[in-house]
Amino acid sequence: MKRGCFDNLLFVTVLALVFAGSTYFWFNFFVRGKSLPTPNLVGMSVVQARNICSDLGVTLNIDTGARRNSDKVPAGYVVWQNRTPGATNFIKRGTNIRVELSAGPLVLTVPNLAGQSAGTAVLRLSQQNLRIGNLAYADVGGSGIVAADPPVGTVVGPQTAVSFLLAVPPQPRPYVMPDLIDHALDEARPYLEGHGLHVTAVKFEEYPGIRDGIIIRQFPVRGASVSARDAITVVVSKQEASSIIEQSPPQQPALGTVAPTTTR
């Protein structure tokens, strides 16, 4: 009795082992037998990559719209693939492998930043893997950057320091502020603008006995030094509408000369 039980147990065990072995064999034959390790195409020429993919039964797609700079892979060779290579990364036959080709080492040149500000230069250099060097200023005419060291177009290495010479803006010509009191704003404004000066603020104030539009106060005051950088403010008369009387404009005094200041 015990002998029969032992034989039955042995039979069941052998049957289970045969079933497991058969399952493993057919799984590899039907599933993994149709899969293959992903090839490593990086560093290969297009011809080599195509031949390998053809032998494995996979399709090679070259992304012609993208190139990657590389110091290690020559220009025109495969530098990147979309599937990770290796014996543990399986792909099916007929799978597409997309690759990009190398553009060779990145060639950096000093950009042309003529007329740009120092802030723009810092931004542009950082975008091109370069950095700002020394900044020098000189009254050489023009505006912004006028020269670079190394010169524009020079081939340089990454993080090369580029120095610039920037033009100093010319100082505006100084004038002696004329007397604007009792003159019409419409007369004084174009007169000042003809000398590069500008009325930047106009305030109105009721002033009995003086017609509308006459300057009654000014800043800077008469005789002060003034230039195109200075703000000129005037206060202009403005009567109430009910008190405005039609009358001939009185004789206006002549504007004083806007004379350049002199230095000793």
Check whether 17 has a pLDDT greater than 80. Answer: no
Is the domain defined by 31-104 classed in CATH 3.30.10.20? Answer: yes
CA angle 143, 260, 254 (to 5 degrees): 125
Write out the CATH class of domain 108-167: alpha beta
Encode 163-183: b = buried (16+ Cβ within 10 Å), e = exposed. Answer: ebebbeeeeeeebbbbebbeb
Domains 31-104 and 108-167 share a fold: yes
Q: What is the CATH number of domain 175-243?
A: 3.30.10.20
pLDDT in tens, 98-109: 999 999 888 899
Per the listing, tokens 């992304």 go with 63
Q: Which residues contact 144 (CB under 8 A, 6 or more apart)?
A: 113, 114, 115, 116, 117, 166, 167
pLDDT in tens, 29-75: 444 456 789 999 999 999 999 999 999 999 999 998 888 988 899 99
Structural domain spans, the chain: 31-104, 108-167, 175-243
The two counts, helices (H) then strands (E), for the chain are 4, 15
pTM over the 0.75 mark: no
Distance CA 53, CA 64 (A): 18
